[in-house]
Structure 1
Amino acid sequence: MPELPEVETIRRTLETLVAGKTIERVTVSLARIIQRPDDCDLFAAMLAGQTIRSVERRGKFLRLMLDDLVLVSHLRMEGRYGVYASSEPVEKHTHVIFHLGDGTELRYKDVRQFGTMHLFPRGEDLAELPLRKLGLEPLGPDFTLAAFSREAAGKSTKVKPFLLNQEYVAGLGNIYADEALYEARIHPERTTDSLSKREMAALHEAIVKTLREAVEAGGSSIKSYVNGQGEMGMFQQRLEAYGRKGEPCRRCGEPIRKIVLGGRGTHYCPRCQPERKQAGNR
C-alpha cells in the first residue's frame, strides 16, 4: 500500500499535471470504487464542469480540490493515477476516467480494486469519514514532540502497531514504521508506556527524518508503485531494516530479523534495537 511518501509524491506529480484543468465528463466502469455518492451517474454529473484547483494530501489520502467540491481518493493496495492523451489505448483495470478539457485524461487504474473515492462539498471532507478520525500529520506543523507524546501517553500498546494506527499518526505504514524504529533504535515490541522521554524524542525525530528523506527520494517502489508520470521511487535503495531479513545491519553487522507483529511483517536489528530499555535511557 502506498504510504505517506508515495502519496505525497503522487500529489506533487498530479499538481503539476492536472491543476487548472477542467473535468468535462467522467467515465466509471467499476461502481464499488465510488463510495460517496453511492450513485456513479450522480458522481459523474457532480464533477462535470468542475476545475481541479489544486491537489492536496491528508495522511495516505489524496484530496483533489475542485471549484465547489473535494474528491477524496484512497489508493489502497495498488491504486494508480496517470495522465494520458485521449487517443492512447485504455489499459486493463482502468476503472475511472476523468476526461479533461485539454484533451487529456486522468485515469485511475487499480488491479486489486480496493481503492475508494468520496465526493464532498468544499469544507466538509475533513469533518466526515474517512478523514475525520485521522491523527497527527507527521510532516505538518502540529506534529510536535509534545503532541506525539500526548498520543502515546498511558497506552500499553506495542509501539509498532501504535505507529500503524492512523488515528494516532496519519500516513505511516509498514515500511516507514520499521525504518523509523530502526533509526530510533527502539524494538518494535516495546510498549509505548515503556518508552523514556529520550526515546520518545528520538522516535519523533526519526519519523520526521525518515519521511522527509523518503519524500525527497520519490518514495519506495517495493511492488507496483509509480508516481503519476510512471516513474519509480528510489528510497528502497536506502532502506535499513524493511525487507532486509537475514542481511547484515549496516550499523553493527548483526543479521536483520523478521517477525510478525499485529499481523504485519516487521523487520529490526536485535542488537541495535534491544527488547528492553537500556540502563540510563530515561
Structure 2
Amino acid sequence: MPELPEMENYKHLLNERLRGKTITNVQVNREKSINISTELFQEKVNTQKLDQIERRAKHLLFHLDNGNVLLLHLMLGGWMYYGTEQDKPDRTIQIRLSFGDHHLYFIGLRLGYLHLFTEQEVLEELNDLGPEPLEPSFTKEVFIQLASKRRGKLKTTLFNQQFLSGIGNCYSDEICWHAKLLPTRQMNEMNEQEQIQLYHSMRSVLQEAIELGGYMSNPLFKNDVKTGGYTAHCKVYDQEGNPCSRCGNHIVKDKISSRKTFFCAECQK
C-alpha cells in the first residue's frame, strides 16, 4: 500500500505535469470507486482546471477551480499512470481523467477510491488524522509529548493514522530498524533517549524515501526513472533471510496485529 513517501512522490511528479491544466474528459468504469453517481461526477469534474495537488497522510487532494476536491486513497493494490492511450499499462482502468491527448489512469481501485468533496467536506473527512511527521512544526518535543502518552507496540503505534499520518507497514519496519528498536517494544517502556532516536530515525527514513521515489514498483509515466527507487534501499522490509546490513544477522519475518513485520533480532533491542 502506498505510504507517505509514495504519495509525496506522486504529488511532486503530478504537479509538474498537471498543475494548471484543464480536464477535458472524465471516464468512470467502476462507479464503486467514486462516491456519487457517474453522471454527477462527470458534470462536476469535466472541464475543470486543476489548481494544485496536495498530500495529506496517504491521500492526494486534487483541487479543482470550482472549489471541489478529488480525494484519492489508493489503498492496497492501487496505483496511477499518466500518459497516452498508446503507452498505458495493459491493466483494467477504473477511472480516467483526460488532459487533451494525455490521461491520468487510476488502476487497481478495488479497495481505493477517488471521491469528490467540497473544501469543507474534505476537511471533515480528514479531521481525525494525526500530525504530519515531516512538518516543521512537528518538533522533537511535540513527538516526545505524544509518544509519552501512548501504550501498545511500537509498530502498531507508528502506523496508527490517528497518532501520526502517512506511515504504514513498510516504513514502520524501516524506522524501527534505523532506530535499533524492536517493533514489539512497548511505547511506554522507551526512555527519552530512545524516543529522541525514534523521532530522528522517522524523519531520516521518510525523507530519504521521498528523495528516492518511494518503494512503489510501477512507473508513473513513460521513462519514469525515479518512482520505486527506494526499493533497493530497504533494510528490512521484504528482506526475510537476507543478512542485516548493519550486523550481518539474518532478517526475520513475523506478524504483529496481522501485519507482516520484518526486523533484525540481533541489533534491534
TM-score by length of 1: 0.88
Counterpart code for 1:40: T
Q: Which structure 2 residues correspond to residues 173-188 of structure 1 after superposition, within 5 A?
A: 173-188=168-183
Letter in 2 for 1:151: L
Aligned residues: 266
Q: Aligned to 1:251, which of 246, 254, 257? A: 246
Shift of 1:227: 2.9
1:3-42 correspondence to structure 2 within 5 Å: 3-35=3-35, 38-42=36-40
Residue 184 of structure 2, aligned match among 189, 206, 214:
189
Q: Which runs of 5+ in 2 are unaligned?
A: none
- Aligned equivalents of 1:227 and 1:75: distance in 2? 14
Q: What residue identity is the alignment partner of 1:45?
A: E
Tell me what 2:135 maps to.
Answer: 140
CA contact (8 A) 1:34 1:118 kept: yes
Q: Which residue of 1 aligns with 2:106?
A: 108
Distance 1:44 1:260, change over 3 A: same
Partner of 2:76: 77
Note the C-alpha offset of 1:43: 1.1
Question: Is contact 2:51–2:63 with CA below 8 Å preserved after alignment?
Answer: yes
Query: Given that residues 27 and 98 in structure 1 are in contact (C-alpha distance below 8 angstroms), is that contact kept between their aligned partners in structure 2?
Result: yes
Instruction: Say if 2:219 is the partner of 1:226.
Output: yes
Superimposed CA distance per residue, residues 196-225 of structure 1 (whole angstroms, 9 cap, x where no aligned partner): 11111100100110010011111114xx54
Matched, 1:121 2:114: no
CA RMSD of aligned residues (A): 1.9
Amino acid at match of 2:14: L
Q: Distance in 2 between matches of 1:84 and 1:134?
A: 32
Which residue is 1:49 aligned to?
A: 47
How far the C-alpha of 1:114 sits from its partner, in A, is: 1.4
| Structure 1: gaps (5+ residues) | 275-282
Take 1:63 and 1:105, find their aligned partners in 2: how far apart are those partners? 17
Distance 1:132 1:124 in 2: 10
CA distance 1:89–1:145, shift in 2 (3 Å): closer
What does the per-residue CA deviation read over 1:134-178, in whole Å, with 9 as the maximum and x for residues that have no partner?
A: 111112123222222233223221010000111111111111111
Deviations 1:60-97 (CA, angstroms, capped at 9, x unpaired) = 10111111111110111222222223566784311111
Per-residue deviation, residues 79-134 of structure 1 (Å, max 9, x unmatched)? 2222223566784311111122x332222121x611111212234412x22x2211
Q: 1:58 to 1:208 in 2, by over 3 A?
A: same
Aligned to 1:62: 60
Measured after TM superposition, the shift of residue 272 of structure 1 is 1.2
Q: Does the aligned pair in 1 maintain the 2:235–2:244 contact within 8 Å?
A: yes
Structure 1 residues 225 and 199 mapped into 2: Cα distance closer, same or farther (>3 Å)? farther
| Equivalent pair of 1:10/1:228 in contact (CA under 8 Å) | no
In structure 2, the partner of 1:93 is 92
Identify if the C-alpha distance between structure 1 residues 90 and 271 changes in structure 2 by more than 3 Å, giving closer, same or farther.
closer
Aligned-residue identity in percent? 33
